[in-house]
Structure formats: C-alpha cells, structure tokens
Structure 1
Amino acid sequence: MYGFLPSYPPSMPMDTGRAPRRDATRNRERLLDAARRTFAQQGLDVPLEEVARAAGVSRTTLYRNFTTREELAAAVFEDNVARIERRAAELAGHPAAVIELFDFVLDLQLGHGGIAHMLSQAGVHWFTELAGRTAAAFIPLLDSGRKAGIVHPDVYVCDIILAYQMAEGAMDDFEGERRRESHDRIRAMLHRSLFVSR
C-alpha cells in the first residue's frame, strides 16, 4: 500500500530536512545582507552574480531563493519594513519618537534608494501592503508628536509618505558624496516642513 515510500534501515533515521532548512535560512540571510550592501554601493543595476559573490553562495543558490531582481529587491524592502516596525516599537513613548523614526527611515532610503520606486513600477503585488505597514508604524508616533506640539497640526501620515517620495526623487540624480550632501539638505528641508522647531 505504501510501497512508494523509501525504506530506511533501522539504524538510519529518516531525513527530516531540518539541516537543509537551516542552511537555506542562512543562505537567504546572507543574500539579503549582500543585496543590501551591493545595492547601496553599486545601485540596483548591480549584476545578481555580484550579489551571490558578496554573499559567498553560488548563482544557483541565489536563483533558487530569488528568481528575479524584483523578487530580491522586494525581500530587502520587506526586511526594511520589519526593521521600521521594530524601531517604531522601541521608540514608543519617547518625546521625539516620530522625528527619530522619520530620520531612521530616511537613512534606510539613502542606502536603498530606488527600491520602492522599482517595485511600484514593476507592479509587485505585495508592495502596497508593505507600504501600508510602514504608514501604520508611524501613526501612533505621529499622533503623539502632534499632541506634544512637535509636529505641525496639519501633518498626517500621508504627508510623511509623500515626503519620502519627494526625497527619493530629489536624490535620484546624485551619487556618492553628492548624494549624501543632497540627503542632508533634503532632511533639513523636510524637518522644517513637518516638525515644529524648538
């Protein structure tokens, strides 16, 4: 009846697949870390083979985990969203939490500029959900900041998201040190627009 199942000698336990799963998890983490670094250093057009090389894995392993550039970028974006959520939870209750979270996300954007734009252009179906999670992380901190008088009263979460879109568009034409300088000027401008000077 069960003749299609492999038979194992009593001394040989059936392989549960646990070790390969650990290896697969470790390889995926290496690839995400390598993608984060190479995207930041060389841009989103970096050859995927370079990502595999930076991760210390084969091209086969990379394509087993991520079949397209968009899929890899989406995984980096999702990991960033999880980091934003964790940071928002850590900052809850701090007087200037919304400003600190705003700067945290702006710094992530500096290192991974273009990912959100690429995913939205590619129509990746879970992009909207991830963007919604980012907005949701801001809402309680933004409400607290508004009540504390550190956020302009007419600023809402849609304005925060728009600010990031504007920042990304403004930095698109810059690379290297000029991108950092542009980023700093944009940060100061956005702070004036969103937050009350103390």
Structure 2
Amino acid sequence: MPETRSKPMRRDGAENRESLLRAAREVFATQGIDVALEEVARAAGVSRMTLYRNFSSREELAASVYEESVARIEQRAEALRDEEAGIVGLLDFVLDMQQENQIFVGALSGEGLEWLEALSERTESSFTPLLERALRSGVVHPDTQLSDVMLAFPLFAGVLDVPRRAARERQLRDARALIHRALFA
C-alpha cells in the first residue's frame, strides 16, 4: 500500500482526513475513480492543497478508501466468528458494501497493484475461518472452497452495471439468491 503518514495529526487535520475519505468514497462511487481530485476536495469542503497534504496521489487516496472498507470487513468477520452461519452474514455484508460502493469491487479482485493484492488477501483471510466453521457445521456445500466464495463478488459486480434501476434491483436480488443457492446448503 502506498506510504501513509506516521506522525500524530492535530484534531483538525484528522477531521479533514476523515472528511476527505468520506467524500472520496461518495465521489468515487458516483463519478468513478478517475474523477478530478478537485471534486473530492470540494465535496469534503477543503482546499486542493489540504487534499494533497493528506494524500500525495490518487493511488494513495484510493488505497486509503479501500483499506477502510477492508477494515470494516475484518471487524464484521470478527463479530461473526462464533456463529455457525457467520459466513452467510459476512458474504451479505460484503455484497451490501459492493452495492453501496461499486468502486470497492477492485479491492475484492486484488488484480493489479501490490497494495490492492494485499487488501484482497486480507479479505480472503477474513472469510477463511468462517468458511472452515461453515464446512464443519454443514452451512455450506461440502465441496465449497474459498475461491468459490470470492468468485461471488465479481459475479455480483457484473449485475451492478445494469443501466436501468428497476431491472438492476431485480437482478441484484436474483444474483444474491443464486449465490446463496450455489454456496449454502
């Protein structure tokens, strides 16, 4: 992952950084990752200089947004680790994240940049103990592998591109039901 700052921030600096991350998540989701970074700064209510003081590049900003999302997955996985069907809850949690923020799809595929691959590995690591528990308890089909679970995300992402909202909503429900039938006993 691109290098991030290690010295403590002042409170206003930390608030600016959080505003920038929140704005980046929203702007990337609605306008794509190639949007002008000035749009992110404007949405955060800060100057372009403040954006560049916090994030030296688009890659660093995107990495921080992705990392925040993966941290949420890790927290959710930890909360579900003692549930026999925890994998179902985590899968649905990540599908919901995808639906809310299509830009996160890249982090799940782990293709390309080294830091992106590391985030994908962290996501997989979150699913591994839940899958093992689900296999022991019969929640998933006995031959289900981690790669099967991870394949659900690019499959679901394909439906996110459906242009008409009504058709997309129906297809998202159908895709989620299909993924559940394929994975869960």
With the length of structure 2 as denominator, give the TM-score of the two structures: 0.84
Q: What is the deviation of 1:177?
A: 4.9
Q: What is the deviation of 1:176?
A: 4.6
**Counterpart amino acid of 1:147?**
R
Aligned counterpart, 2:123: 134
Q: Map 1:116-155 to 2 at 5 A.
A: 116-117=105-106, 123-155=112-144
Aligned counterpart, 1:42: 31
Report if the CA contact (8 A) 1:31-1:62 is conserved. Answer: yes
Report if the CA contact (8 A) 1:77-1:116 is conserved. Answer: no
* Distance in 1, Cα, partners of 2:164 & 2:35: 15
Aligned counterpart, 1:25: 14
Change (3 A) 1:105 1:185: same
- For residues 56-84 of structure 1, give each alpha carbon's deviation from its aligned partner in whole angstroms, at most 9, with x where no partner exists: 11111112222333322221111000000
* Distance in 2, Cα, partners of 1:167 & 1:126: 23
Report if the CA contact (8 A) 1:32-1:76 is conserved. Answer: yes
The answer as to 2:100 corresponding to 1:97 is no
**Counterpart amino acid of 1:166?**
L
- For residues 5-40 of structure 1, give each alpha carbon's deviation from its aligned partner in whole angstroms, at most 9, with x where no partner exists: xxxxxxxxxxxx96x533322211111111122223
Aligned counterpart, 2:3: none
The answer as to 2:91 corresponding to 1:108 is no
User: Structure 2: which 5+ residue stretches go unaligned?
Assistant: 1-6
**Counterpart amino acid of 1:148?**
S
Aligned counterpart, 2:183: 194
Between the two proteins, the alignment pairs up a number of residues equal to 178
Aligned counterpart, 2:148: 159
Report if the CA contact (8 A) 2:22-2:44 is conserved. Answer: yes
SS at 1:126 equivalent? helix
Q: CA RMSD in A?
A: 2.3
Q: What is the deviation of 1:98?
A: 0.5
User: Structure 1: which 5+ residue stretches go unaligned?
Assistant: 1-16
Aligned counterpart, 1:182: 171
- For residues 139-179 of structure 1, give each alpha carbon's deviation from its aligned partner in whole angstroms, at most 9, with x where no partner exists: 11111111111101111111111111222234234365544
**Identity, % of aligned positions:** 48
Change (3 A) 1:40 1:178: farther
Aligned counterpart, 1:7: none
The answer as to 2:97 corresponding to 1:85 is no
- Report the structure number with the largest CA radius of gyration: 1
With the length of structure 1 as denominator, give the TM-score of the two structures: 0.79
The answer as to 2:51 corresponding to 1:74 is no
